[in-house]
Homo-oligomer: A and B are copies of this chain.
Amino acid sequence: MTNAVDALRAFNRFHSQWAGLLRPSYMDSGLGVTAARLLYEIGRAPTGGLLASDLCADLALDPGYVSRVLSRFEKSGWIARDRGRDARQRPIRLTPAGEAFLVRLDQRTRADTAARIAHLSPGNRAVLVAALAQVRALLDPAAD
C-alpha cells in the first residue's frame, strides 16, 4: 500500500462508506441524494437568476428528471418559478419555506457530522483540517 494509486482507491472506498454516499435517503429528509444536492445548489445560487438548465449542467443531470424534481419542490412550496424576460426560461427562487427547510436540513447534517467527530480533541481536529486541506489541494489543482 505504499503506492499512491492504491492508497487513494482505498481511501475512496473508505470515505464514500463513511460519508454515507450509498444511503438512498439523504439524512432521512425524505429526499433522495440527488434531490438534496439540487436543493442545496438552489440554496447556494445567487438569488433570482438560477435556471433549470444551470442545474442540469452543474450537476450533470437529465433535464427531464430535473424538471420533475423541481415540480415536486414547487408543489412542496420550497421553490417558486417566475417567467424571465426570455419567456422560455423559468428562473428559480427559494421560498421562505424552502429556506427554512434547507436550514433545518443543514442543521441536522451539521449535527450528524459533529457527532461523528465528537471523539476528536481540539488538537486532532486541527490536524484533521490540515490534512483535508492538503488532500484537496493535491487532488484538485483548480480549487475554488
Q: List A residues at the B interface (Cβ < 8 Å).
A: 2, 4-9, 11-12, 14-16, 18-19, 21-22, 33-34, 37, 59-60, 109-110, 113-114, 116-117, 119-120, 124-129, 131-136, 138-141
Contacts and interface: CB of A to CB of B under 8 A. Distances in A.
A136 B12 CA distance: 10
What is the predominant secondary structure among interface residues of chain A facing chain B? Answer: helix
Given A131-B138, A135-B128, A135-B132, A113 B8 contact: yes
B139 A4 contact: no
Contact of A138 (B12, B34, B124, B141): B124
Given A8-B113, A21-B21, A113-B5, A14 B131 contact: no
